[in-house]
């Protein structure tokens, strides 16, 4: 995992509680990946088997002393914890070790913040960050709110008589959250209008979903280059966690004039922070509007099964259910002796970088979303010439013959077209 931005690498010690959960080992690997995505280098990993976290110190007391020793020997000043910690747990570990503590939630928020490019993504991350800060404010903190986000600075400086600095800070943050939420609501309303327009067009929506870095954006770009209405409108793809933080929708026109909308969106990771899920609800919920989900899996990653479980959990957390799904075992080119492209029912093994693979994907998508299309033969009288040109432009015409009685056309129609042309059907 690498990142193009050149910034100093921070050495860290990872800590995690093993509560006998099957996914623990994978979560610690995931945590290490998240840390390296955030310019951190893992010096040591310290874990403890405990049924539940110590409410005051997360680890047991003896383990904190051991951790302090590990930090000292490795000369590391920062700890990254695998769980979301309470404010007092953070404070107590910091006091017990002399190092700074960042929990899993703060780490993910930091990565999202560094990746956010659009106004929408930036707003969503800022709201989640401020909400995370709110219960963690300390008396000693000097709050510096980002002037760009509005709400801070001059517009909010009043301080009630007797109000402590902590209360002032809390009010400042609450005020800023409400200002940001208002702006977010406006952008979301615009997006909702656009989505409603798309639905009205009666065109099918297909959404790429899955674990971060699985290859969703690469598949999107592969299909846009071949079938995109605008073939230059590519999305950002990169070997990094959370390369994509917004939803992009592209219209794909297939050679036989069928078309559909494809959307690419933010990837998943296990234990996505609640604040983040709430703030990104609109972006994540794009999948909820889809007619078909395409789950992209990094088949070259030894932990791909855990990643699929994470995807399932995240989908139910964001309320996406009951939508038909195709599963893609992607990056098959990186696996030894794996045959691709290959299809077994709704499971495809393929490589996003291979044309034959994209053909197989399109054929599979097509079967799903055009299943309600009607194959029929029409006889269009000669005095209805405009219907022939309408069909030539908007439907899939397989064969066209001129007969004594009119133009005979073998076609595939959408349900709406089938309704309109009912009276001309020969079968
Ligand atoms: N070899 C190989 N590399 C691939 C394939 N698909 C994607 N990649 C690479 O995997 C990395 C991640 O791809 P993206 O398309 O950005 O992944 P994503 O799922 O959109 O990731 P996020 O936006 O972070 O959630 C990039 O470096 C791609 O070039 C594949 O089939 N084969
Ligand atoms: Mg992406």
Full 3-state SS string of 106-155: HHHHHHHHHHCCCHHHHHHHHHHHHHHHHHHCCCCCCCCCCHHHCCCHHH
Ligand 1 binding pocket includes 271 (Cβ within 6 Å)? no
CA gap 136, 67 in Å, rounded: 23
More confident residue, 8 or 419: 419
Closest-approaching ligand to the CA atom of 218: 1
Beta-bridge partner residues of 260: 252
Taking the CA of residue 208 as reference, the ligand 1 atom at the shortest distance is 19
Instruction: Compute the mean pLDDT over every residue in the chain, rounded to the nearest whole number.
Output: 89
pLDDT in tens, 295-311: 999 999 999 999 999 99
Q: Is 215 in the pocket of ligand 1 (CB under 6 A)?
A: yes
Quick check: CB of 333 below 6 Å from ligand 1? yes
pTM, two decimals, is 0.86
Which segments are annotated as binding site for Mg(2+)? 217, 244
Q: Which among 64, 21, 60 is positioned nearest to 306, based on CA atoms?
A: 21
Query: Higher confidence at residue 289 or residue 293?
Result: 293
- State pLDDT tens for residues 24-36: 999 999 999 999 9
**Mutation test of ligand 1: which of 237, 241, 276, 332 has the most ligand atoms closer than 8 Å to its C-beta?**
237
Which atom of ligand 1 lies at the shortest distance from residue 239's CA? 27
Ligand 2 center–CA 284 separation, angstroms = 13
If you average pLDDT over each of 187-191, 201-205, 245-249, 338-342, which comes out highest? 338-342
Binding residues: 210-217, 244, 264-267, 330-333, 351-353
Q: How far is the CA of 257 from the centre of ligand 2 (A)?
A: 27
Nearest to 46 by CA among 74, 23, 22: 74
> Which of 114, 211, 213 is the best mutation target for the ligand 1 pocket, counting ligand atoms within 8 Å of the beta carbon and taking the most?
213
Q: Which two tokens stand for residue 295?
A: 């789950």
| 89 CA from centroid of ligand 2 (Å) | 34
């Amino acid at each position: 995992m690498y990142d193009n931005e050149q910034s100093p690498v921070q050495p860290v010690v990872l800590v995690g509680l093993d509560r006998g959960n099957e996914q623990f080992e994978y979560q610690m690997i995931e945590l290490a990946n998240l840390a390296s995505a955030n310019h951190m280098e893992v010096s040591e990993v310290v874990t403890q088997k405990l049924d539940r976290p110590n409410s005051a110190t997360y680890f047991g007391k003896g383990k904190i002393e051991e951790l302090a020793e590990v930090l000292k020997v490795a000369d590391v000043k920062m700890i990254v914890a695998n769980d979301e910690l309470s404010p007092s747990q953070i404070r107590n570990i910091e006091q017990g070790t002399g190092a700074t503590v960042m929990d899993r939630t703060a780490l993910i928020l930091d990565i999202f913040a560094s990746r956010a490019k659009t106004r929408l993504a930036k707003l969503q991350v800022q709201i989640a960050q401020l909400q995370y800060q709110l219960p963690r404010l300390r008396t000693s903190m000097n709050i510096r709110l980002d002037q760009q986000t509005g709400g801070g600075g001059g517009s909010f400086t009043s301080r009630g008589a007797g109000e402590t600095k902590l209360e002032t800070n809390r009010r400042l943050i609450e005020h800023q959250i409400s200002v940001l939420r208002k702006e977010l609501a406006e952008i979301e309303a615009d997006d909702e209008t656009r989505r409603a327009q798309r639905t009205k067009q009666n065109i099918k929506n297909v959404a790429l979903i899955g674990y971060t870095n699985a290859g969703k954006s690469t598949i999107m770009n592969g299909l846009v280059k071949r079938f995109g209405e605008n073939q230059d409108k590519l999305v950002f793809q990169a070997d990094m966690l959370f390369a994509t933080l917004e939803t992009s929708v592209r219209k794909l026109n297939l050679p036989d004039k069928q078309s559909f909308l494809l959307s690419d969106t933010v990837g998943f990771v296990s234990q996505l922070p609640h604040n983040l899920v709430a703030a990104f609800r609109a972006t994540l919920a794009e999948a909820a509007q889809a007619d078909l989900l395409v789950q992209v899996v990094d088949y070259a990653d030894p932990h791909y099964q855990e990643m699929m479980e994470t995807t399932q959990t995240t989908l139910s957390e964001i309320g996406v259910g009951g939508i038909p799904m195709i599963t893609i075992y992607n990056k098959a080119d990186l696996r030894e002796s794996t045959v691709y492209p290959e299809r077994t029912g709704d499971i495809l093994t393929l490589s996003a970088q291979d044309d034959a693979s994209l053909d197989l994907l399109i054929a599979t998508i097509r079967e799903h979303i055009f299943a309600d299309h009607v194959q029929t033969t029409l006889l269009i009288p000669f005095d209805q010439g405009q219907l022939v040109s309408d069909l030539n432009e908007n439907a899939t015409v397989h064969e066209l013959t001129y007969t004594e009685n009119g133009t005979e056309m073998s076609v595939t129609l959408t349900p709406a077209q089938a309704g309109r042309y009912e009276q001309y059907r020969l079968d």
